[in-house]
């Protein structure tokens, strides 16, 4: 009897629960339809909306803006607005994934134009507020509720924060890679092999000598010497500001490498402070040919050649 009486009761409870879930689903669909309506509007009018925002933003810009920069900014902001609008029916994670790809490309473009990251981040707060105000007004005009507007605004803030973070990472990566390439060029210019007479060349060392520059010498400069028909190489230290003991050991190890290749190596321009570093490094000077200047080294070579 209990079971017979319980079936209608359970059925009634289930129907009530299903009706509640159905009403919630309809309400969710209605809200989503409203949010998607805003998304469609933003995509259809993206260029017009962005152009209006850019016109307002340019009033606060305190640096020179070229036509090319304006064109690129319009393109980037239209792409961002379309990504934002199309994300309204996606999860945060899915929306962020698409935006990360775009932000990396945008960060590299920004880095190529601006030397300071502060110029990229400076207008961020005003641009964010502008996006929120524009899209909020559009949402209200399309009849969205306060809850729906808040949901859209939360998505805007979330994606703009993601964009800023990824743009910063891409900017730093681009600048770091650029610095590495520039350092390579500096290394090439700061340690050239300069032929001065037949069979005689000079390797002038200039500035601060660090591990990267020593590695460049070992990997790219020293291997070229045997092909240059050099019998005597003068390594000149007069342009060096400072080296540490480890770097000094690396540089003087070059002497041993070149001697094995049959090249007579001489050191010039070693000042007292550099001498102290070399002594502290435990480097044995007895097998080295050192001279006060490049001129004295050349005179010594010529004297030996005459003596033969």
CATH number at 246 reads 3.30.750.24
Tokens 């050191």 identify what position? 267
Domain final residue pick, 141, 159, 186? 186
Shared domain check, 140 and 89 = yes
Residue numbers of the domain that contains 168? 11-186
Q: Same domain, yes or no, for 46 and 112? A: yes
Q: Do 20 and 169 reside in the same domain of the chain?
A: yes
Give domain status of residue 1, yes or no: no
Instruction: Compute the distance between CA of residue 131 and CA of residue 83 in angstroms, rounded to an integer.
Output: 13
Q: Give residue 190's pLDDT.
A: 56
Q: Is 5 within a domain?
A: no
On whether the CB atoms of residues 74 and 47 are closer than 8 A, the answer is yes
Q: Let me know whether 201 and 270 are in one domain.
A: yes
* DSSP-derived 3-state class of residue 13: helix
For residue 166, what pLDDT is reported?
Answer: 81
- Give this prediction's pTM: 0.52
195 & 129 share domain:
no
Domain shared by 293 and 228, yes or no: yes
Residue 84 maps to a domain = yes
Q: Give the span between the Cα atoms of 209 and 24, in whole angstroms.
A: 71
Task: Specify if 124 maps to a domain.
Answer: yes
Same domain, 249 and 117: no
Q: Which of 137, 168, 186 is the last residue of a domain?
A: 186
Report the CATH number that the domain containing residue 173 is assigned in CATH.
1.10.490.70
- Residue 259 sits at the vertex; the CA angle it makes with 250 and 202, to the nearest 5 degrees, is 75
Q: Do 39 and 84 fall within a single domain?
A: yes
6 in a domain, yes or no?
no
Tell me how far apart the alpha carbons of residues 263 and 259 are, in angstroms, rounded to a whole number: 5
Is residue 221 in some structural domain?
A: yes
Q: What is the pLDDT along the chain (308 residues), one digit of tens a residue?
A: 444 434 455 445 544 554 554 344 444 434 458 888 899 999 999 999 989 888 887 777 666 778 887 888 888 889 889 989 988 888 888 888 888 888 777 777 766 665 566 666 777 888 888 889 989 999 999 999 999 999 999 998 988 888 888 878 877 887 788 777 776 766 665 557 888 888 899 988 877 777 777 787 888 788 888 888 889 999 898 888 777 777 777 777 788 888 888 889 999 988 888 888 878 877 777 778 889 899 999 999 888 776 55
In this structure, the dihedral spanned by the alpha carbons of residues 247, 250, 253 and 254, taken in order and rounded to 10 degrees, is -100
Considering the domain architecture, whether residues 81 and 132 belong to the same structural domain is answered as: yes
C-alpha of 31 from chain center: 41
Q: Return the sign of the alpha-carbon dihedral for residues 29, 35, 39, 45.
A: positive
Residue 63's pLDDT is what? Answer: 67
Q: Which of the listed residues 167, 186, 205 is the one where a domain comes to its end?
A: 186
Considering the domain architecture, whether residues 40 and 177 belong to the same structural domain is answered as yes
Whether residue 120 lies inside any domain: the answer is yes
Query: Got the DSSP string for 67-129?
Result: HHHHHHHHHHHHHHHHHHHHGGGS-HHHHHHHHHHHHHHHHHHHHHH-S-HHHHHTTHHHHHH
91 and 240 fall within a common domain? no
Residue at 248 is within a domain: yes
Task: Work out how many domains the chain is built from and give that number.
Answer: 2
* Three-state SS at 265: strand
- Does residue 182 sit in the same domain as residue 195? no
The C-alpha atoms of residue 159 and residue 169 are separated, in whole angstroms, by 15
Q: What is the pLDDT of residue 128?
A: 87
pLDDT per residue as tens digits for the range 187-215:
665 557 888 888 899 988 877 777 777 78
Closest CA to 205 of 193, 220, 219, 215: 193
């Amino acid at each position: 009897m209990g079971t017979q009486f319980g079936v209608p009761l359970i059925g009634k409870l289930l129907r009530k629960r299903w009706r509640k879930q159905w009403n919630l689903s309809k309400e969710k669909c209605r809200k989503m339809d409203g949010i998607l309506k805003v998304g469609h509007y933003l995509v259809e009018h993206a260029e017009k909306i962005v152009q209006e925002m850019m016109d307002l933003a340019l009033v606060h810009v305190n640096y020179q803006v070229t036509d090319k920069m304006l064109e690129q900014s319009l393109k980037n902001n239209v792409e961002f607005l379309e990504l934002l609008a199309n994300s309204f029916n996606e999860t945060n994670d899915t929306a962020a994934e698409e935006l990360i790809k775009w932000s990396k490309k945008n960060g590299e473009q920004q880095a190529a134009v601006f030397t300071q990251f502060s110029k990229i981040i400076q207008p961020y707060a005003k641009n964010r507020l502008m996006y929120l105000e524009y899209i909020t007004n559009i949402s209200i005009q399309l009849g969205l509720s306060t809850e729906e507007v808040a949901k859209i605004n939360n998505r805007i803030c979330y994606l703009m924060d993601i964009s800023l973070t990824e743009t910063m990472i891409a900017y730093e990566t681009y600048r770091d890679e650029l610095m590495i390439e520039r350092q390579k060029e500096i290394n090439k210019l700061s340690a050239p092999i300069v032929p001065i007479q037949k069979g005689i060349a000079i390797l002038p060392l200039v500035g601060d000598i660090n591990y990267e520059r020593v590695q460049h010498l070992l990997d790219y400069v020293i291997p070229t010497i045997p092909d240059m028909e050099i019998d005597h190489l003068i390594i000149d230290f007069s342009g060096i500001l400072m080296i540490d003991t480890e770097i000094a050991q690396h540089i003087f190890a070059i002497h041993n490498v070149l001697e094995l290749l049959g090249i007579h190596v001489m050191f010039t321009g070693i000042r007292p402070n550099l001498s102290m570093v070399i002594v502290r490094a435990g480097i044995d000077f007895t097998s080295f040919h050192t001279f006060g200047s490049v001129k004295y080294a050349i005179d010594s070579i010529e004297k030996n050649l005459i003596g033969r």
